[in-house]
């Protein structure tokens, strides 16, 4: 007696189709999770009033770049991690040298180098001298004797008579600042991770009907 076993459909082809469905399901799930997390983080940042520019610092990369894989992954990060991280953790910010933190007022303007202007740069740029005023309650001040231009910036007075001259607060001086926590990035990240298994299963099942 001769026995012959035949498997129909072809077992090898069936397994290959199952692997292909899994690769597609995993890759699609990771891409969707990554895109959702990027969108959620950007929404948090703009919703907190931190601006679209900082929101657009959130970037996404998916792997593999082309094709599908059971080991697919998504990476979401910020191009401005220090700023985003500060609003996410709400840290206590202290001066590096242990003295005062100089926080510019609108009258100070912005640094030509980008970012926050320092008292030294402000004096060099305007030619005015800053004067320290201690206040027992509230932040102490660095002020200058000048005038406000049409943009609300403090500049040197051109009038020899002193007309229009006023004392303008240029910097607030504080020993430390507690930054308010405005973001909860971990919440969205955990939600994205928790949703991945369901996405994979749904995609894998759907793959059998295509």
Interval 94-136: pLDDT, tens: 776 667 888 898 888 888 777 788 899 989 988 888 999 988 8
Cα 169 to Cα 114, 117, 120, 154: the distances in Å are: 21, 14, 15, 9
Residue-level pLDDT at 128: 87
Question: Per the domain annotation, does 6 fall within a domain?
Answer: no
Note whether 76 and 109 are same-domain residues: no
Question: What's the number of domains the chain is made of?
Answer: 2
Are 108 and 117 in contact by the 8 Å Cβ rule? The answer is yes
Question: Per the domain annotation, does 21 fall within a domain?
Answer: yes
Q: Smallest Cα–Cα separation from 155: which of 189, 135, 125, 192?
A: 125
Question: Per the domain annotation, does 8 fall within a domain?
Answer: no
**Residue showing tokens 């980008």:** 114
Note whether 162 and 185 are same-domain residues: no
Question: Per the domain annotation, does 2 fall within a domain?
Answer: no
Residue-level pLDDT at 47: 95
Residue-level pLDDT at 181: 92
Q: What is the pLDDT of residues 133-172, one digit of tens each?
A: 988 888 899 998 877 777 777 777 766 655 667 888 989 9
Note whether 71 and 114 are same-domain residues: no
Note whether 81 and 123 are same-domain residues: no
Domain of 21 in residue numbering reads as 13-90+181-208
Question: Per the domain annotation, does 1 fall within a domain?
Answer: no
């Amino acid at each position: 007696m001769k026995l012959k076993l035949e498997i129909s459909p072809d077992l090898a082809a069936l397994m290959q189709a199952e692997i292909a469905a899994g690769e597609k399901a995993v890759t699609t799930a990771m891409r969707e999770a990554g895109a959702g997390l990027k969108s959620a983080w950007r929404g948090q940042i703009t919703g907190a009033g931190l601006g679209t520019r900082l929101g657009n610092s959130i970037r996404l990369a998916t792997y593999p770049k082309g094709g599908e894989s059971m080991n697919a992954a998504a990476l979401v990060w910020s191009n401005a991690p220090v700023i985003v991280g500060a609003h996410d953790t709400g840290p206590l910010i202290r001066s590096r040298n242990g003295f005062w933190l100089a926080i510019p007022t609108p009258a100070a303007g912005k640094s030509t180098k980008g970012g926050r202007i320092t008292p030294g740069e402000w004096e060099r740029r305007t030619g005015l001298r800053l004067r320290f005023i201690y206040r027992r309650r509230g932040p102490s001040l660095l002020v200058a004797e000048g005038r406000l231009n049409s943009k609300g910036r403090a500049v040197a007075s051109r009038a020899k008579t002193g007309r229009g001259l006023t004392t303008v607060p240029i910097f607030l001086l504080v020993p430390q600042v507690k930054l308010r926590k405005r973001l909860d990035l971990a919440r969205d990240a955990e939600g994205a991770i928790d949703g991945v298994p369901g996405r994979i299963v749904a995609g894998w099942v759907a793959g059998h009907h295509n």
